[in-house]
Amino acid sequence: MDLKEKLVSSFLAFEESIDAHSPVHDIRNEAIKTFETQGFPTKKEEAWKYTSLNAILKHDYSLFPKQENAIEYKDIKEYFLDDIDTYKIIFIDGKYSSHLSQTTHDGIDVCLMSSALNKPKYRQIIENYFNKIATKDSLTSLNTAFSSEGAYIHIPKNKLVEKPIQIIHFSTGNESALMLQPRNLIVADENSEVQIFERHQSLTDNPVLTNSVTEIYTAKRAIVDYYKLQDDNSNASLIDNTFVNQKDQSHCLVHTFSFGGKLTRNNLNFYQNGERIDSTMKGITIIGDKQHVDHNTLVHHIEPNCESHQDYKGVFGDSSTGVFNGKIVVEKRAQKTNAFQSNNNILLSDKASINSKPQLEIFADDVKCSHGCTIGQLDESALFYMRSRGIPKKEAKALLMYAFSNNVLSSVRIPELKQRITNLIANKLGVNIGFDL
């Protein structure tokens, strides 16, 4: 039985096992039909031309691991932002781990999707927001059909959350292959502010496939600062589907750091439903081996006077491959839009490749839109310059690559995270220099 059949046939049992009277019962049923009709995307589809899921769909994934797994904090501490105080929503093999987590209902809700879906007090929010901006494509629908667990974050009006929130998914390798489908909902009410850090971490070499969906709603003047760290091991793959719906004057920033994993696909979609909105998407990709990272972004400028900024840097070594597909749509009424997009890449080897494609659909006439894409090698004359000053080749290369990606790092607003990423980059590049540029 292939994965699609397995998923479809296990849906009924799944639905019965959780609450069939749940408010999302109909939504799930609708979604599985969509998935059944569409199936997994193939390279025939324009949006998947350079990313094939074939290799990762062939495993016999277990969908609902039975066993609860306890992991000691000390064994996985390194994957946390552990030097600062944070809220934590932690999952092990898809199951909530209360002993590793630190949730709250004190003025804000930082808790679980499973409780939000079941408890009456969250019903209104679920009805208003759940699956309202997630699209009806096959992978998102698949997640929707099985959505039962994930992070639920609701920040009420005027609330500034002082501590960052960490959402971390561990997989233990207890199952020979595991598929996870976390579902997150983040609602930031008017004038609120929150910082979120998300990562997916497999602890063994057993294959893991994560198909995650996150919906983010930023109300008027809200600020959501979201960081995704993708540094998983070489048998773990991630399809991240993130949807952001923004209202007037809100800011949403998503930083994506892609340093590892077998296949990573980021579908990042912004919808600007208001004026003077700022949407920022930044990414650093540094990969090697046969890793593949695909950034597929969309900004939909619907109303006038908004801005969007995209800045993606990629460094590709060995036989790694990258894709950047950045779509900007400016509706006719979205006058005075400022939309910027840049994608710069360095190929470190002849076998590495990147496909970079901007797509602009502009229907308004008074807009500022710019996009630029570069693909190059490391600058040899810069390398000689640095080496002639005593900086060894490896360090010189690292410094150049670090400098190349520094624009993206500079906007990280959690200092500990910035330091962490800096160390990770140095580590990836195999050098030991404190870049404090």
Partner 1 sequence: MLKIKDLHASVEGKPILNGINLEVKTGEVHAIMGPNGSGKSTLASVIAGKEEYEVTKGEIILENEDIEELSAEERAHNGIFLSFQYPIEIPGVSVTNFIKTAINETRKAKGLGDMPAKDMLKMIREKSELLEIDRKFLSRSLNEGFSGGEKKRNEVFQMAMLEPKLAILDETDSGLDIDALRIVANGVNKLKSKDNAVIVITHYQRLLEYIVPDVVHVLYEGRIVKSGGKELAHELEEKGYDWIKEEVNA
Q: List residues near partner 1 by CB under 8 A.
A: 379-382, 384-393, 395-396, 399-400, 402-404, 406-407, 433, 435-437
**Nearest distance from C-beta of residue 431 to partner 1, angstroms:** 10
Beta carbons within 8 Å of 268's beta carbon, 6+ residues apart:
240, 242, 244, 254, 256, 281, 295, 296, 297, 298
The minimum distance between CB 391 and partner 1, in angstroms, equals 5
Nearer to partner 1, 113 or 412 (CB): 412
Q: b/e per residue, 105-127, with b = 16+ CB within 10 A? A: eeebbbbbbbbbbbeeebeebbe
Per residue, the 3-state secondary structure of 23-82, as one string, reads CCHHHHHHHHHHHHHHCCCCCCCHHHCCCCCHHHHCCCCECCCCCCCCCCHHHHHHHCCC
The residue among 82 and 379 lying less far from partner 1, judged by its C-beta, is 379
Provide the token pair at 256: 């994506």
Helix, strand, coil percentages (3-state) for the chain, rounded to 5, are 25, 40, 40
Q: Would you say 178 or 400 has its CB closer to partner 1? A: 400
Q: Which is nearer to partner 1, 13 or 437 (CB)?
A: 437
Q: How far is the CB of 313 from partner 1 (least distance, A)?
A: 10
CB of 305 to partner 1, least distance (A): 31
Q: Contact at 8 Å (CB) between 131 and 215?
A: yes
In this complex, which beta carbon is closest to partner 1, that of residue 59 or of residue 397?
397
Which residue number, 107 or 390, has a Cβ lying nearer to partner 1? 390
Q: How far is the CB of 46 from partner 1 (least distance, A)?
A: 34
The helix or strand, by DSSP H or E, that contains position 333, with its residue range, turns out to be none
Closest CA to 130 of 245, 211, 252: 245
Residue 210 β-bridge partners: 180, 238
- Write down the least CB distance from residue 315 to partner 1, Å: 13
